[in-house]
Structure 1
């Protein structure tokens, strides 16, 4: 099923757009990998992940890793649909600029 173009204010924030885009092609990524790739602090990433989790776009799962806990992030089907629609809308907007 093709997701219709739809601007999503929740995903549009640059860090959240990057998080969802990073998660789209993989089954899951660990929190540290996302943090290091985006070069942001734990607290900044935590805030963005919390927003995405509360919206149902991302699932955060904690697993034991030695004496620590590792957090894995997964894009949900709802998150994938929202990202697909948002990207389609961005492509539609960009196409308007290139028609001149």
Structure 2
């Protein structure tokens, strides 16, 4: 883009605001579920997101290493349990992701394309 005064910088495209760590669908699911409550049990996440224990563990490790969640181990009665909590940094990252997705929706409309036009 340019103007009579010289080149004009276009605003960054919304997809530039997507974070690959957060955007991956299972990790996005983990963060959104965790943001809805104080803490969430890992067994619940595994069922809700239809993940194997190993696959979920890997996603939790990525999020924990990025400081987006905290993992808490303990017991419920005599049974060992693992819970996660979203961190403040995780909340900020989730909000940034949602904001970028909302901007994409705004740019491209909220309705499906007309079936007749393709």
Structure 2's unaligned 5+ residue stretches are 1-13, 114-118
Name which one, 1 or 2, has greater alpha-carbon Rg. 2
Which of residues 56, 80, 92 in structure 2 aligns to 1:69? Answer: 80
Deviation at 1:93, TM superposition (A): 1.1
Give the length in aligned residue pairs: 96
Measure, in 1, the Cα distance between the counterparts of 2:101 and 2:93.
12
Per-residue CA deviations over 1:4-53 (Å, capped at 9, x if unaligned) read: x7321110000000110101110000000010111111001000000000
Is 36-45 or 57-66 further displaced after alignment? 57-66
Measure, in 1, the Cα distance between the counterparts of 2:105 and 2:22.
17
Which of residues 32, 55, 66 in structure 2 aligns to 1:44? Answer: 55
Measure, in 2, the Cα distance between the counterparts of 1:38 and 1:71.
16
Bigger relative contact order (CA 8 A; separation at least 6): 1
Per-residue CA deviations over 1:30-85 (Å, capped at 9, x if unaligned) read: 00001011111100100000000000000000002344320001000000000001
Measure, in 2, the Cα distance between the counterparts of 1:7 and 1:42.
27
Measure, in 1, the Cα distance between the counterparts of 2:77 and 2:52.
23
Measure, in 2, the Cα distance between the counterparts of 1:37 and 1:94.
26
Measure, in 1, the Cα distance between the counterparts of 2:92 and 2:104.
18
- Structure with greater proportional helix content: 1
TM-score of the superposed pair, with normalisation by structure 1:
0.89
Matched residue SS, 1:26: coil
Give matches, 1:1-100, under 5 Å.
Answer: 6-98=17-109
